[in-house]
Amino acid sequence: MTKPLRAALYARVSTSNKGQDVGLQLDELRLVAAQRGWIVVDAYVDAGVSGTKDRRPELDRMVEDAKAGRFDLVAVFKLDRLARSLRHLLTLSEDLTSWGVGLVSLRDAGIDTTSASGRLLLQVLGAFSEFEAAIIRERVIAGVRRAQAQGKHCGRPKVDLEIRPAVAMLQQGRGLREVASIMGVSRTTLRRRLQEAGEWPVAPMRAAD
């Protein structure tokens, strides 16, 4: 006979009022666990914690227990209880899979990584996520190039820096790091501004005849 699966139940509500009740999630999770013959190892509940936070006390505890092999699957009421971003969901799912732990969502049809079709569905979601990220990157790059072609500065604003005092100190033999510290900028920024002004490398000041 196949051994019954050990299940961890995860539930979350962002507020403890406004009609949200974590008990409703747990009741349905326990009912399904009994119907499917799962052994409930533990229930992990984050009450009053936003799903936008990747780190949550009970979620972190559940992840550590998953690493330790305490259970075979994680069951959630809905995926948005576990993660509010696709990136976070996919990262969690990949981690659980690497530890031999499945993921089941009661209210999201087809999300069951203990089955081949469920694993395929998550892989499709991951592919769409990567595709969306690639499109966003391409749009950003195209926008930057278009702005640069129009003579617009892209990136961080230039530091307003008076070059002459820096040149004078460098000519006196002070090091670039020391001068940059005195001027309140990074060594890289100072060198770049000197290069733009045609003052780099700085020749030492010649002694008077």
Q: Which positions are catalytic? A: 14
Tokens representing 64?
């550590």
Q: Read off the amino acid at residue 166.
A: A
Cβ-in-10-Å burial (0-12, 13-18, 19+) of 194 comes to buried
Give the DSSP letter string of 6-32. EEEEEEEES-SSTT--HHHHHHHHHHH
Contacts of 63 (CB under 8 A, 6+ apart): 92, 95
Sheet strands side by side (includes 73-76): 39-47, 6-13, 73-76, 102-105
Give the Cα separation of 189 and 126 in Å (integer): 39
Give helix then strand counts, H and E, for the chain: 8, 4
Give the DSSP letter string of 102-121. EEEESSSTT-BTTSHHHHHH
Are 96 and 10 a contacting pair, CB within 8 Å? no
Q: Read off the amino acid at residue 180.
A: A
